[in-house]
Amino acid sequence: MFRKWFDKKDTASPTGVNQPSVEKRRDVDAADTDTSGAKTRSPKPSGAGRDKKTVKPQWSLEQFQVPEKDGLSRFHDLDLPLSIMHAIADLGFEYCSPIQQTALPYTLDGYDAIGKAQTGTGKTAAFLLTALNDLLNNPIQDERYMAEPRVLVIAPTRELVMQIAKDAEDLSKHTDINVEMLIGGVDYAGQLKRIQSRIVDIVVATPGRLIDFMTRNDLKLDQIDILVIDEADRMLDMGFIPQVRRIVRACPAKQNRQTLLFSATFTDDVMRLTEQWTIDPVKIEMEPDRVAADTVTQKVYMMAAEEKFSVLKNILLSDEVTSAIVFANRRDQTRWLYERLGKTAVTCGMLSGEVAQQKRTSTLKRFKEGKIKVLVATDVAGRGIHVNGISHVINYNLPEDPEDYVHRIGRTGRAGETGTSISLACEDDAFMLLDIEATLGQKLDCEQPPSSYID
């Protein structure tokens, strides 16, 4: 199977994109049979082990009318397979987000890409649509081995992996493409059973659990056509890069795969990695006019450190708060807040690295269902929380990294709704406001909390 690469010399580069100067063609050769003594893999026809998903034959693109608008790109304009367009229609998407509009014309043609984009910009759909389009347009006709995916997505946190996998399922629901996620903190045997029970096309994984599968020869990456590395800067911060390097080495050479890398920032370290892992990538930098969404009202309350908890408690008990996430900087602070709030009338759950994955999953599910009013979370656990209807985000501590502030407040004011961000600042962390304001490009007004919030 050969991936087609098209000559784009006559295509004008959109704003924020550097166009590759040299056309690349990647020839993906059939992998040799493994005779190194690894575990025996039973070959099955490419369709074997698939759970066929029903495609409604009566659906047509005529049922999904989207008018043309100046400056906006429709998904209709991308020549996507009908099954993907059906899923896009079901999800209610009509026009591409800026990063999708900029990236997809290139990534759908097979170019490597590195994208600078914040969470909530639509980058997940951009790389998933690219992957699904490639899988559907280039089906494997020969025999395939079990546990040999064609698309790999790596993300730093369990919650983010779960969200990406769900998005992939939503976009592929009218196809026979199978998606699996591999995350730590859950039963390895159960994940292995699913991997071995059917042909798997897309694997979404955290680096640690993926390494577990590779070490035991339970998953092979030698047939990867598309490699996606999401939140590369966060991977660096969390110390995952040695593991990611090992994963990349297990994939086909960069000449024989398409690589898509996304990061909230383009640090020197991130750029060095892109040079090693990509070939003449399209560089996409989405710089919004405002880092913080206009739908989020930002407040900073100045107070003494000993007043913080009572202010937090009273905010959460107010009628204005219908659903909230409270962010703390460390696990012990998160646990302390959860235990103290548990003694009040506030119904809450906790998300942090010390919580077992099964418990984290059930807590997030209850939060989405409205059975829990408040989530107390660390930044790492908070990654991948995409829940509409969150009325408030409260920073019990100002984050040390200004980018984390942007990520936090982005949990509210989503999908056209309005939201409120409240930061509780004291003498211990108020100095961080300067860096946050520099990142936001705006001044944050500081005020005393209302007297009703102070016991």
pLDDT in tens, the chain (455 residues): 333 333 333 333 444 555 544 344 344 343 333 433 333 333 444 444 444 454 456 799 889 999 999 989 999 999 999 999 999 999 999 999 999 999 999 999 999 999 987 666 789 999 999 999 999 999 988 888 889 999 999 998 888 899 999 999 999 999 999 999 999 888 999 999 999 999 999 999 999 999 999 999 999 999 999 999 998 988 887 788 999 999 999 999 999 999 999 987 888 888 999 999 999 999 998 765 445 567 889 999 999 999 999 999 999 999 999 999 999 999 999 999 999 999 998 999 998 878 887 888 889 889 988 999 999 998 876 666 778 789 999 999 999 888 888 888 888 887 667 899 999 999 888 889 988 988 888 889 899 999 888 87
Identify whether residues 145 and 50 lie together within a single domain: yes
Give which of 134, 127, 174 is closest to 150, Cα–Cα. Answer: 134
Q: What is the structure's pLDDT at 52?
A: 46
Residue the block writes with tokens 């295509």:
11
- Tell me the residue range of the domain where 377 lies: 296-453
Question: Domain for residue 425, yes or no?
Answer: yes
Q: What angle do CA 67, 72, 75 make, to 5 degrees?
A: 65
The phi and psi torsions of 296 (rounded to 5 degrees) equal: -110, 120
Tokens of 102: 């900029």
User: How long a stretch of residues is the chain?
Assistant: 455
Q: Are residues 147 and 269 in the same domain?
A: yes
Check residue 180 and report its DSSP letter.
Answer: E
Residues 386 and 331 sit within 8 Å (Cβ to Cβ): no
Q: Please give the torsion angle defined by the CA atoms of residues 63, 68, 71 and 74, in that order, rounded to the nearest 10 degrees.
A: 20
- Answer yes or no: do 281 and 311 share one domain: no
Distance (Å, rounded) from C-alpha 264 to C-alpha 286?
Answer: 10
CA distance 445 to 437: 10
Q: 323 and 249, same structural domain?
A: no
pLDDT value at residue 415: 64
**What is the pLDDT at residue 149?**
97
Q: Are residues 94 and 127 in the same domain?
A: yes
Domain endpoint, select from 250, 285, 320? 285
What per-residue confidence (pLDDT) applies to 401? 86
Residue 5 lies in a domain: no
Domain identity same for 233 and 120: yes
228 in a domain, yes or no? yes
Number of domains observed in the structure of the chain: 2
Q: Report residue 69 as tokens.
A: 């608008």
CATH number for the domain that contains residue 132: 3.40.50.300
Give the pLDDT confidence score for residue 368 in this predicted structure: 87
User: Under 8 Å CB-to-CB from 222, ≥6 apart: which residues?
Assistant: 31, 148, 250, 251, 252
pLDDT at 382: 60
Q: For residues 380 and 29, what is the distance between their CA atoms, to the nearest angstrom?
A: 39
Tell whether 290 is covered by a domain: no
Q: How many CB atoms lie within 10 A of CB 152?
A: 26
Using CA atoms, how far apart are residues 36 and 27, in angstroms rounded to an integer? 24
Residue ranges of E strands in 303-383: 324-327, 348-351, 374-377
Give which of 257, 168, 171 is closest to 205, Cα–Cα.
168
Residue 39's pLDDT is: 36
Whether residue 35 lies inside any domain: the answer is no
Final residue before a domain boundary, out of 285, 306, 341: 285
Query: What pLDDT sits at residue 171?
Result: 97
Same domain, 303 and 268: no
Which pLDDT value is given to residue 237?
76
Query: Which of 255, 285, 315 delimits the end of a domain?
Result: 285
The three-point CA angle 369-370-374 to 5° equals 125
> Are residue 77 and residue 197 in the same domain, yes or no?
yes
Q: Is 1 part of any domain?
A: no
Q: Can you tell me which residue has the tokens 């994109």?
A: 17
